[in-house]
Structure 1
Amino acid sequence: MDTPASAKGSVTHEWSPPLPEADGFEHTMVETPGLRTHVASIGEGDPVVMLHCFPGHWWQWRDIAPAIAAQGFRVICPDLRGSGWTEAADPRFGPDSQRDDVIAVLDALGIPRAHFVCHDMGAISGMQISYLQPERVRTIVQLAVPPGFMEFTPKVMPAFEHMPKLLMHRPGTSLRYLFSPRYMTHPMSEQVIEANLRPHQRPEVEQAVRALYRGLVIPVSFRLMAGVYRRMRLRPPTLVVFGREDGPFAEPTARHICRNHAAHADRFELAFVDGAAHFITDDAPEDVIRLVLDWFAREGGAT
């Protein structure tokens, strides 16, 4: 039975700040202790939670969410703490901050269990929920980020090269370098880059960059390298998808670091997309949609 929203938080349907354009989405603020989470949602049916990258927000899913919703799903795209139009009373981050925030939002919305689609930073929270609260995860599709049980190899180190600069980020410093050709096969237009970075005009979001990386991303990265998640069992059906042009996770490397998946996961598959790199949701949205819907159909089971 769904939990009434009033039992865990509240949902406000009033919305006024200007947002990037995307048709069909409803925008709400979900109030939980210490946080006002902006949530964009679309569709009706079984819930799907989409967790965005850094730097990004709900708008990352502008093409993918409507296509998933059209197949009978309710797609929920929250702006994670420190991103988008979410407002946090406490600017500090811990390794589990965003995971706890996502669970609080789901409780407030009365959603006990959902499919998850996660990219980049959002995959951190999706992965943590899958390991620590697997009963909340019906299936998960993880984009451009290896599973928690990955076997570390120096070949993946280039995937972490951007982190020192973000650890020293100064408010007002451009983050446009994160949208360079190194991370995508199809250049983003100026309009798309501007829409992704628009929330960084807010001082709260700009000041959160260093705190996010120091308090959450780096500690979780150390957990991965130390094998913390390899000592746990991954229960939800998990699909990990990489673009074939994503250098640190080229297919031979990705298959190597996941080769012992049967020892660590109940149900796990890898998939690779032609003509895509790290920003796979922009490089190949139709392939992502196809893979997501196929995984839901094959592994979703009963609600």
Structure 2
Amino acid sequence: MNGASAHSEREDPREPVEAPGDPTAWSPPLPAAPGFDHRVVQTAGLRTHVATIGPENGDPVLLLHGFPLHWWQWREVAPRLAAAGYRVICPDLRGCGWTEDDGRRYDREIFLRDLVALLDVCELDRPRVVAHDLGAIPTWQLSYAHPERVRAAVLLSVPPGFAFGPQLAPAMTHMPKFAFHRRGHSLRWLWNGRYHTRPVPDAVIDRYLAPLQDPAKDAAVTKLYRAVAIPEGMTLAGGAYKCTRLRPPTLFLFGALDEPITEKRIRRLAGDTARYAEHVEFASVDGAKHFMTDDAPERVTALVADFLGRVA
């Protein structure tokens, strides 16, 4: 039984829903991560699994995972931020992890609407947001559409919207595989060494891919890319983010070995960032590729904490 579906519907669809504290009560069981609390937050058409860690009165930091990952991506980053005094909130995005949706049609801004609803229900006032890969989409959409709701942002393994160019096309070769994903076929090929530098144990890969045992989550792979990621990529390629201004302070982190999306190349493509943004910084994570939170979690956390401590 899934932890989210273990509860009856509430009259108020925005009401947070308590969920089993025992990780084994969820289906599939939640991977082990000491110190995290788990609950379900219900909004219209969505029951979001949220893992939290850190002091209740700490300043909130929202961590948005990449794909095909989920909240557990932050298992080594979130406790370090919590130890620094932050209240760290790690939701599973729609179609991912242990979050359940009502099957409605996906579109380019559906993550943005989900994120705004989550902020409203949880009464999160201007959180700091850290996002990787797919999680960057709602983060920069929120930063541009509702800058007053983002205190600062850190984006991992993605270029700024205003620095997107054809030179980065080799980084997108995985997208057709997701868009035409055959149900029941494993995504284990992602851990073939191209996207990470440290060997990833089979048990870790199994934990990342466990939610895809659910046919609905497996079917969501193509929806996420055809309706969200690819349309957002076309928006980037069309230069839409060069015609507006990024206002929250934002740090872009790149794996030093993550060709072609490296700090050096992105700096060159970005040019004078003052034309497009109020405050942008770039930094590299030594010894890391795309899956930098597995390759170098200590270095990622140090760079994130330093930036958030200085600008927000």
Which TM bucket (shorter chain)? over 0.9
CA distance in 2, matches of 1:251, 1:49: 24
Structure 2 residue 194 is the aligned partner of structure 1 residue 189: no
5 Å matches for 1:58-207? 58-152=71-165, 154-207=166-219
Specify the alignment match of 2:5 in structure 1. Answer: none
Structure 2 residue 286 is the aligned partner of structure 1 residue 270: no
Secondary structure in structure 2 of the residue aligned to 1:247: coil
CA distance in 1, matches of 2:249, 2:117: 23
Asked if the contact 2:70–2:92 (Cα under 8 Å) also holds between the matched residues in 1, the reply is yes
Residues 105-139 of structure 1 deviation map (CA, whole Å, 9 limit, x = unaligned): 11111112100000000011111111111111001
Specify the alignment match of 1:215 in structure 2. Answer: 227
Specify the alignment match of 1:24 in structure 2. Answer: 35
The alignment covers a number of residue pairs equal to 294
Asked if the contact 1:8–1:107 (Cα under 8 Å) also holds between the matched residues in 2, the reply is no
Asked if the contact 2:255–2:286 (Cα under 8 Å) also holds between the matched residues in 1, the reply is yes
Asked if the contact 2:263–2:282 (Cα under 8 Å) also holds between the matched residues in 1, the reply is no
CA distance in 2, matches of 1:58, 1:117: 12
Structure 2 residue 311 is the aligned partner of structure 1 residue 299: yes
Q: Give, in angstroms, the shift of residue 257 of structure 1.
A: 1.6
TM-score (norm 1): 0.95
Asked if the contact 2:13–2:44 (Cα under 8 Å) also holds between the matched residues in 1, the reply is no
Residues 50-86 of structure 1 deviation map (CA, whole Å, 9 limit, x = unaligned): 0000001000000000110111111000000000000
CA distance in 2, matches of 1:252, 1:271: 9
Secondary structure in structure 2 of the residue aligned to 1:195: helix
Q: Give, in angstroms, the shift of residue 172 of structure 1.
A: 0.5
Specify the alignment match of 1:40 in structure 2. Answer: 51
Residues 73-108 of structure 1 deviation map (CA, whole Å, 9 limit, x = unaligned): 110000000000000002421001111111111111
Specify the alignment match of 1:3 in structure 2. Answer: none
Over aligned residues, Cα RMSD in angstroms?
Answer: 1.3
Structure 2 residue 253 is the aligned partner of structure 1 residue 241: yes
Structure 2 residue 271 is the aligned partner of structure 1 residue 259: yes
Asked if the contact 1:147–1:240 (Cα under 8 Å) also holds between the matched residues in 2, the reply is yes
Structure 2 residue 298 is the aligned partner of structure 1 residue 286: yes
Q: Any stretches of 5+ residues in structure 1 without a counterpart? A: 1-5
TM-score (norm 2): 0.92
Counterpart of 1:36 in structure 2: which amino acid?
A: R
Q: Where in structure 1 do 4 or more consecutive aligned residues deviate above 4 Å?
A: none
CA distance in 2, matches of 1:196, 1:14: 21
Asked if the contact 2:263–2:283 (Cα under 8 Å) also holds between the matched residues in 1, the reply is no
Secondary structure in structure 2 of the residue aligned to 1:40: strand
Question: Which stretch shows the higher mean deviation, 159-168 or 250-259?
Answer: 250-259
Q: Give, in angstroms, the shift of residue 249 of structure 1.
A: 1.1
